[in-house]
Structure 1
Amino acid sequence: MSASGAATVLFDAPGPRARVRNHMITAVTVVVLVLVAWVVYSGLADKGQLTAEKWQPFLTANLWQTYVLPGIQGTLTAAAISIVLALILGLVLGVGRLAPNAVVRWVSSVLVEFFRAVPVLIMMIFAYFLYAQYGLFASKHVALAGVITGLTLYNGAVIAEIVRAGVQALPRGQAEAAASLGMRWGQTMRAILLPQAITSMLPVLISQLVVVLKDTAIGYQITFVEMVRQGTVVGSAYGNYIPALIVIAVLMIAVNFGLSALAVRVERRLRRSRRAPEPMEAEQPAEQPGD
Structure 2
Amino acid sequence: MSASPLFDAPGPRTRRNFAVANVFAVLLLLAGLGVVLLQLDANGQLTAAKWTPFLEASTWQDYLWPGLKGTLVAAAYSVVLAGVFGLVFGLGRLSQHRAVRAVSTVVVEFFRAVPVLLMMVFVYQLLIVYRLVPPDQFALTAVVVALTLYNGSVVAELVRSGVTSLPKGQGEAGLSVGLTYGQTLRSVQLPQGIVAMAPALVSQLVVVVKDSALGYLIGYVELLRQAEYLSTNFSNYIPAVIVIAVIFIVVNMVLSTVAQLLARLLRSRTTGPVRVEAEGANQM
Residue 25 of structure 1, CA deviation: 2.5
Q: Which residue of structure 1 aligns with residue 96 of structure 2?
A: 100
Is 1:48 aligned to 2:44, yes or no? yes
Could you tell me the TM-score, scaled by structure 1's length? 0.88
* Distance (whole Å) between structure 1 residues aligned to residue 11 and residue 102 of structure 2: 55
Q: Which residue of structure 1 aligns with residue 275 of structure 2?
A: none
Amino acid at match of 2:118: I
* Distance (whole Å) between structure 2 residues aligned to residue 23 and residue 188 of structure 1: 51
**After the TM superposition, which of the residue ranges 85-94 and 124-133 deviates more from structure 2?**
124-133
Q: Which residue of structure 1 aligns with residue 126 of structure 2?
A: 130
Q: Which residue of structure 2 aligns with residue 240 of structure 1?
A: 236
Is 1:182 aligned to 2:178, yes or no? yes
Q: Note the alpha carbon deviations across 1:103-141, whole angstroms, 9 max, x for none.
A: 100110010011011000011111111112111111111
Residue 37 of structure 1, CA deviation: 1.1
Q: Which residue of structure 1 aligns with residue 278 of structure 2?
A: none
SS of the aligned residue for 1:100 comes to coil
2:106 is aligned, of 103, 110, 124, to 110
1:258 is aligned, of 254, 279, 282, to 254
Q: Which residue of structure 2 aligns with residue 84 of structure 1?
A: 80
Q: Which residue of structure 1 aligns with residue 166 of structure 2?
A: 170
Is 1:144 aligned to 2:144, yes or no? no
Structure showing greater Rg: 1
Could you tell me the TM-score, scaled by structure 2's length? 0.90
1:199 is aligned, of 179, 195, 200, to 195
* Distance (whole Å) between structure 2 residues aligned to residue 107 and residue 27 of structure 1: 53
Matches within 5 A, 1:190-229: 190-229=186-225
SS of the aligned residue for 1:136 comes to coil
Structure 2, unaligned runs of 5 or more: 273-284
SS of the aligned residue for 1:201 comes to helix
CA distance 1:224–1:10, shift in 2 (3 Å): same
Amino acid at match of 2:185: M
Q: Return structure 1 stretches of 4+ with deviation > 4 angstroms.
A: none
Aligned length: 272
**After the TM superposition, which of the residue ranges 110-119 and 225-234 deviates more from structure 2?**
225-234
Structure 1, unaligned runs of 5 or more: 277-291
SS of the aligned residue for 1:157 comes to helix
Could you tell me the percent identity over the aligned residues? Answer: 52
* Distance (whole Å) between structure 1 residues aligned to residue 12 and residue 106 of structure 2: 55
Amino acid at match of 2:228: T
SS of the aligned residue for 2:95 comes to coil
Is 1:121 aligned to 2:117, yes or no? yes
* Distance (whole Å) between structure 2 residues aligned to residue 190 and residue 214 of structure 1: 32
* Distance (whole Å) between structure 2 residues aligned to residue 274 and residue 202 of structure 1: 13
Residue 16 of structure 1, CA deviation: 4.4
SS of the aligned residue for 2:76 comes to helix
Q: Note the alpha carbon deviations across 1:33-79, whole angstroms, 9 max, x for none.
A: 22211111001001110111111111222221111111000000000
